Chains A and B, each alone.
Chain A
Amino acid sequence: MSEQLTAHAAGTRSLRRTLMSFGRALLLAAPGAVMLCGWQFASGRLVREAYISKPTDIARRLYELFATGEIWPSLKVTGQELVLSYVIGVASGLLIGYALGRSPRVARIVEPYVMAFYGIPKIALAPLFIIWFGIGIWSKVVLAGTMVFFLVFYNVYAGVRAIDREVVNLALVLGANERQLSRHIYLPAAAPFLLMGMRMAIPYAVIGVIVGEFTSSTAGLGLFINYASSTYDPASVFAGIFILLAFVMIMNALASRLERRLLRWRPSAQGVVQEAT
């Protein structure tokens, strides 16, 4: 009897939870829907269609691009550039940020130089990178990778330096050697900072790749958008932009999953975990 009751209660609870998450999704989608409707209405009435296209045209164009396969080569090139620049930027940022964070003496000498390079607008280097690395994917990988590198580097560096000296001392007395300090103290303590840097770097990777392709390229979404805008084809421009948006959203979702896995122990992440189970 009581078992039945609890089973029943659990049933209503899960139903309520489904309804609630459905309501939340609706609430989340509402502003986007309003914006698209407003856009559709304004196009041709308030603003000339040639300037802003309209959502239905963009959707049709997107379908066309994927149905005919016209977009695949561009997607493949830009995707490659994004993944390569992001992976290389994150890996080198983590490695160097961690190394400098652990060796303050070297950091004191190197930091002003890194700071100076950080101050250079990387976009201004795009033409140079084209000259150095050619108009293929590598000039874009280097440009976007540099932007990713600095964001990850600074976050990891700050994270390692922020570690409480007393925790390190305690670990030493408890018996930790250098390798164990890295594994059990420094790296886990720097993980939240690494993930923050990785999140911040996602849009910059896209910016770097697209600017590189705008500057000079033989393929890619940037080239596609650039070409569309120079031929007065706003529907294609927006189609390209929506594809970039999808890229960013996918990368963000992946970063969130990684965050939930690595930062399970954090009070803020805890609620999410409990909700998911």
Chain B
Amino acid sequence: MNVVDDPGAQNALSFNAIRQSFPGLAGEAPLPVLSDISFHVPRGRFVSVIGPSGCGKSTLIQMAAGLLRPTGGRVFHNGVNITGVNRTIGFVPQQAQLLPWKTMIENVEFPLLLRGVKPAERRARAQEAIDKVDLSGFESHYSHQLSGGMQKRVSIARMLVYKPDTILMDEPFGALDAQTRMVMQHDLQVMLASEGASVLFVTHDITEAVMLSDSVIIMSRRPARVLAEVSIDLPRPRDMFEPHTIPGFAEAYDRVWSIFRSELNVKRAA
């Protein structure tokens, strides 16, 4: 894997030699979290990052969003070095983080409101995004009146509404139950097919990573480095509900798992 200094325009996101350490407790040395991470998210591709919990996967998302400056190295979005809050990127956080004092449609409109879009256009575009995530009929509900899966859909609609070319998703389906998660994965695939956006997706679920991605980055334990990048060439659309019936799924899963397992201290069954 050859990392060039100037990532050019073919990559939506580029992480170049990223290092990150967090200040230690009083008197202790700083805690290194990421050591020399380099990879790209090519334009229009879906790239997942998996790794053991606490390895700093979410830190990469924070950096791409411009909420955290790396201790070393640089992050590029469409060839531009990220130095402040990145307002042009789409962000789906771990928790849905809807604003409880706004109704569902007001939450979806929120990014447009912040951009000074006129009310009529705002409504229309929000409605379009709401239809896309299949939530019409719940526009005037407050977030506490929506289920966890619905809240997640709203947070995706809120991201789609301003049509970002690049999307960050930080374990977005981690808190959902198994059925809801499968439905969301299926719907995400359908939505993204029509958007053509590039995605950086963080997860710790190998099946999810393999099923959604064009390529999977596997990270090591802390201080994390990139162990391997496995490209997934399964044909699309993929049937999220029955991964095991997809030819090639088992092999792809195995390739990821064989690298990933070395990081987990799994005791071999006798």
Contact = CB atoms under 8 A, between A and B. Distances in A.
B4 to A, nearest CB: 27
B97 interface: yes
A231 B126 CA distance: 71
Given A172-B67, A173-B87, A265 B100 contact: yes
Contacts of B67: 169, 172-173
B144 A184 contact: no
Interface in B114-156: 114-115, 142, 144-145
Interface in A156-195: 164, 166-167, 169-177, 180, 184-185, 188-189, 191
B105 to A, nearest CB: 13
B111 interface: yes
Contacts of B65: 169, 173
Given A180-B114, A184-B110, A265-B142, A173 B99 contact: no
Interface residues of A, number: 22
Contacts of B142: 265, 270
A267 interface: yes
Interface stretch (B17-25, B31-39, B88-96): B88-96
B43 interface: no
Contact of B91 (A170, A189, A191, A267): A170
A166 B99 contact: no
Interface residues of B, number: 26
B88 to A, nearest CB: 9
Contacts of B101: 188-189, 191, 265
A171 B87 CA distance: 10
A159 B142 CA distance: 21
B93 A174 contact: no
Given A173-B66, A175-B87, A265-B142, A166 B95 contact: yes
A169 B93 CA distance: 10
B86 interface: yes
A171 B103 CA distance: 16
A174 B99 contact: no
Contacts of A189: 101
Contacts, number: 58
Contact of A173 (B86, B102, B144, B145): B86
B110 A173 contact: no
B85 A172 contact: yes
Contacts of A167: 97, 99
Nearest to A167: B97
B86 A166 contact: no
Contacts of A174: 87, 91, 110-111, 114, 158, 162
Interface in A55-89: none
Nearest to B85: A172
A170 B93 contact: yes
Q: Which DSSP category, helix, strand, loop or mixed, fits chain B's interface?
A: loop
B125 to A, nearest CB: 14
Given A167-B99, A265-B102, A175 B66 contact: no
Contacts of B86: 173
A167 B89 CA distance: 16
Contacts of B91: 170, 173-174
B93 A166 contact: yes
A175 B85 CA distance: 9
Q: Which of B67, B95, B162 has the most CB of A within 10 A?
A: B67
Contacts of B145: 270
Nearest to A164: B97
A170 B99 CA distance: 10
A17 B99 CA distance: 34
Contacts of A175: 87, 111, 114-115, 162
Contacts of A191: 101
B97 A170 contact: yes
Contacts of A265: 100-103, 142
Contacts of B158: 174
Contacts of A170: 91, 93, 97
B197 to A, nearest CB: 15
A173 B114 contact: no
Interface string A239-262: 000000000000000000000000
B95 A173 contact: no
Given A166-B93, A184-B110, A267-B144, A173 B85 contact: yes
A189 B102 CA distance: 11
Contacts of B89: 173
B76 to A, nearest CB: 17
B256 to A, nearest CB: 29
Nearest 8 CB-CB pairs, A to B?
A175-B114, A188-B101, A174-B111, A265-B101, A173-B91, A172-B85, A175-B87, A267-B144
Given A166-B95, A188-B99, 13 more contacts: A166-B93, A169-B67, A171-B114, A172-B85, A172-B87, A173-B65, A173-B66, A173-B67, A173-B85, A173-B86, A175-B114, A189-B101, A265-B142
9 contacts: A167-B99, A170-B97, A171-B114, A172-B67, A174-B158, A175-B162, A188-B101, A265-B102, A270-B142
